[in-house]
Amino acid sequence: MKRIGVVAKTDRADAREVVERLLAWCAERGLQPVLEKETAGLCPDTQAATARKPDLPGQVDLLLVLGGDGTLLSMARLVGDLSVPILGVNLGGLGFLTALTKEELFPALDAFLAGGLVIEERVMLAAQVWRHGERLSEYVALNDVVITKSAMSRIINLAVSVDGQFATAYRADGLIISTPTGSTAYCLSAGGPIVFPTMPAVVLTPICSHTLTNRPIVLPADQRIEVTLQSDQDVMLTLDGQVGFALKEADVVAVHQAAARIRLLRFPQKHFFSVLRTKLKWGER
């Protein structure tokens, strides 16, 4: 490894300090940091290389994300099929993807150089919007694909097919199509199950379903899901809660497992259940 890409959430109070320490650490080891352009603004006197956020993953051997889960999600979509491993460091509060603390950053980097970190591959979702047989847009998501009504809309009607076979219809505020990684995000808040993050699965979780027997469903990741909007209302498609597309009646959202997988790094001892215990405070009451 020679080049480390660095992306920081620049409005965090300790972001500048961490980036400055990271630059010194790289200099001591003869490694070349490449700073995302906004991140570089934290250290205006640095001579380190810079890159635009969309270009950064293609220029580095390791991507270091300093911030929260939202920052990591935005970078994961840009990494796509480049297979660049991502190390997430939490500079805020709750974080399942950025599970490392500031204090663990440099031990983790030393462990990575020595081959001592575990690489977890996570499923991503690919989503397409079709209107009258024409594909309008295509996205990828690491956490979830969500179809939801606007604040002033009534309950919406959705028809769901799985691998070409009609599965069910929902009358609800919306529908969350989640990866195992996203099962601890919006899916969990809506009553969905926690799914082990490396499982090849997809979770369908209705949002406030009008039919109380509509429960979350776990499907194999290789099945194709098609959701048809059957309501003429203001409805949005969102990807990881960060990218949006306005849907119209009869639009079809087709979701399937993306070809790319995201590679997240972690300490061997920092397994999924230790993160759950820490973040959700399991066993404390």
- Residue 74 counted as domain residue: yes
Same domain? For 103 and 153 the reply is: no
Q: Quote the pLDDT of residue 93.
A: 66
Same domain? For 36 and 153 the reply is: no
- Residue 285 counted as domain residue: no
Both tokens of 76, joined, read 């994961």
Low-confidence residues in the chain, pLDDT < 70: 93-94, 285
Q: Quote the pLDDT of residue 269.
A: 86
Residue 253, domain extent: 124-259
- Mean residue pLDDT of the chain comes to 94
Same domain? For 45 and 164 the reply is: no
Per annotation, catalytic residue among 69, 144, 173, 240: 69
Tens-place pLDDT, residues 91-135: 876 678 888 889 999 999 999 999 999 999 999 999 999 999 999
Q: Quote the pLDDT of residue 94.
A: 64
Strand 118-131 to 86-90 pairing: unpaired
Domain count for the chain, please give it: 2
Same domain? For 227 and 276 the reply is: no
- Residue 130 counted as domain residue: yes
Q: Which amino acid is at 228?
A: T
Same domain? For 106 and 131 the reply is: no
Same domain? For 29 and 49 the reply is: yes
Same domain? For 135 and 212 the reply is: yes
Closest CA to 230 of 132, 170, 158: 158
CATH code for the domain in which residue 220 is found? 2.60.200.30
Same domain? For 136 and 253 the reply is: yes
Q: Quote the pLDDT of residue 281.
A: 83
- Residue 177 counted as domain residue: yes
CATH code for the domain in which residue 84 is found? 3.40.50.10330
Tens-place pLDDT, residues 18-49: 999 999 999 999 999 999 999 999 999 899 99
Other C-beta atoms closer than 10 Å to the C-beta of 5 total 27
Query: Residues 200-237, buried b or exposed e (16+ Cβ, 10 A)?
Result: ebbbbbbbebeeeebebbbbebebebbbbbebebebeb
Strand 3-8 to 62-67 pairing: parallel
Q: Quote the pLDDT of residue 71.
A: 93
Residue 49 near residue 34 (C-beta atoms within 8 A): yes
Active site residue 69: yes
